[in-house]
Structure 1
Amino acid sequence: MKSDAARPAGTPPYGTAQRIRTRAIWAVALFTASLPPALIGFGIATATADQTNLAMPLAFLFWAIGLLFALWAAFPALRYWDGLPGQVRWLGALPLLSVSLFLSIALVGALLV
């Protein structure tokens, strides 16, 4: 196994691209898994007087864990941006970009309504 001192500057360590891909896929899967509980929780909150439901905290939990995976994929992707293939670069950055875009749209929508 080569030491980190032996590799050129800007070159990612062995296995970085695979780790970025895995983390980005988990982030997208967890963001997608948060949608059904969010929709069900929103339906329960608007349709009934009983505001207690388990769906909304579950949706937030999936979303928060997905955000952690998105950050975990984005940091090495941005750190080794020049040394990674193009597909891996964007795969590492897009989950975090999509979350920030969604939050920006939600904030603008809340301010306009």
Structure 2
Amino acid sequence: MSGVVGDSRSKPAKVADALRDAIDAGEYPEGKLPTVRELAAQFGYASQTIRDGLAILVSEERIASAGNRGYFVAAPDSKGGPRRKTGPSDEIKEMRLQIQELTERVAALEARADSGGA
């Protein structure tokens, strides 16, 4: 998987792009990525370059670091896409949306019950 001649992207960006594509293609169904050492051998890059590429994916919340246990694919969001939360305010917004959806469902069920249906 080493770089293509004329490719101006940095090595960490190439690592991140290749791993992002592999994650999107479902190549890590168990969620565990190969070790830094294994990825370094696979890409032919230094371990620090691999860690820098992994850091890009961590910052995008595509993967999570579990310290000495390695890196894992982050759980997708409720729509099946990668998680893209930036903090507590995004979590609160998501909870509000979920509450609103549930409130609307309850209101529809109550209206149907009041009208003699179901």
Same fold (TM over 0.5): no
Higher Rg of the two aligned structures = 2
Q: TM-score, normalised to structure 1's length?
A: 0.27
Higher relative contact order by CA 8 Å / sep ≥ 6: 1 or 2?
1
Structure whose residues are more often strand by fraction: 2
Q: TM-score, normalised to structure 2's length?
A: 0.26
